[in-house]
């Protein structure tokens, strides 16, 4: 998290035209106040600052935090307000903005799984309100420059318009962008609903066509049948499928739900690991050492059906090599789940996992 925040602070400090920030959680803690102070400073210097926060993800943040930003000239929009009388769209409490995007001058985008919070999690109802996390959080963001930044900008402005934010003052939101580096980058954004499961279609397609390896980390793993079938079929045709999942979670129920799927995956040849030294919050994958993705999308029903999400897909051997190095490092901090050990675990955990899985579509 600290490396990502350092990159975000640097991008904000060097911005000259505008800063667009979209985050599921923005908290009024030390980290959130550092962002607020810097954004207010940039606004005062004439840089246009626009912020979208999720009204449920940030429900514990006092209104005074956002009012201070507004008083300083920053335009702020709460996504899908909890109060149905305040929402411009058809109201639905489960439709959330789970994206984490920072765009500066239309030239730099930083995206991934990190919220604006010293202690962040998927749900404010489960989040502990402490200044220091009880355990280190392991997450991944990436910085992107070049033509792909325009696609993140479009997603931000589309959500701003749909939430009926104030008219954004004229800025150079789409500057001419030259290609940076040799990687091919595709921006994949999804909206709530069965017909907009673009990030999941992306995952299923990549897994289905994998030939050699699938190395994935995910923080909330409650896969649907399509994902399960794609993973087990890949293992069945000899693909090296390794998945690192949380061994520690901010939600015990989600941990029980994810473990419900272990037996089927292990029997098919999928290798499973639980990260044991940190609370894993990353959502990444690298396939065949050439296809990689980093973003906000969890392997659960909330991400699939109810959330606005965004991932970057990168086609680059060099980038995939760096992703593989990170994956190997995470493996070193993880415990492999063995099938024989798993099949012989006590009855109580089995019953608990089965029972929690009944309600998995609401997690």
Looking at the annotation, which residues are catalytic?
98, 100, 105, 281, 283, 288
Decide if 278 contacts 272 (C-beta within 8 A).
no
* Nearest alpha carbon to residue 120 among 55, 33, 27: 27
Q: What is the Cα–Cα distance from 46 to 316, expressed in whole angstroms?
A: 38
């Amino acid at each position: 998290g600290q490396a990502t925040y350092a990159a975000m602070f640097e991008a904000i400090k060097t911005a000259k035209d505008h800063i667009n920030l979209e985050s599921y959680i923005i908290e009024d803690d030390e980290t959130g106040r550092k962002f607020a102070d810097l954004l207010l400073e940039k606004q005062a210097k004439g840089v246009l600052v626009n912020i979208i926060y999720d009204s449920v993800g940030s429900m514990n943040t006092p209104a005074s935090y956002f009012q201070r930003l507004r008083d300083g000239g920053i335009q702020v929009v709460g996504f899908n307000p909890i109060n149905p009388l305040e929402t411009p769209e058809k109201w639905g409490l489960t439709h959330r903005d789970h994206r984490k995007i920072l765009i500066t001058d239309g030239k730099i985008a930083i995206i991934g799984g990190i919220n604006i919070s010293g202690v962040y999690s998927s749900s404010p109802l489960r989040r502990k309100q402490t200044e220091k996390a009880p355990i280190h959080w392991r997450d991944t963001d990436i910085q992107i420059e070049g033509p792909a930044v325009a696609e993140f900008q479009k997603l931000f402005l589309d959500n701003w318009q749909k939430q009926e934010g104030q008219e954004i003052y004229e800025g150079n939101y789409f500057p001419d962008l030259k290609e940076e580096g040799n990687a091919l980058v595709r921006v994949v954004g999804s909206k709530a609903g069965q017909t907009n499961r673009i990030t999941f279609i992306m995952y299923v397609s990549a897994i289905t066509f994998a030939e050699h390896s699938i190395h994935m980390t995910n923080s909330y793993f409650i896969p649907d049948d399509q994902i399960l079938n794609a993973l087990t079929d890949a293992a069945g045709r000899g693909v090296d499928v390794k998945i690192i999942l949380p061994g520690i979670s901010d939600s015990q129920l989600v941990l029980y739900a994810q473990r419900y799927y272990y037996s089927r995956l292990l029997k098919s040849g999928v290798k499973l690991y639980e990260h044991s030294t940190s609370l894993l919050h990353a959502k990444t994958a690298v396939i065949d050492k050439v296809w990689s993705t980093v973003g906000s999308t969890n392997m659960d029903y909330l991400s699939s059906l109810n959330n606005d999400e965004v991932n970057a897909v990168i086609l680059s051997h060099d980038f995939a090599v760096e992703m593989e190095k990170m994956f190997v490092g995470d493996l070193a901090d993880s415990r492999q789940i063995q099938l024989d050990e798993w099949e012989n675990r006590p009855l109580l955990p089995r019953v608990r996992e089965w029972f929690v899985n009944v309600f998995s579509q609401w997690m």
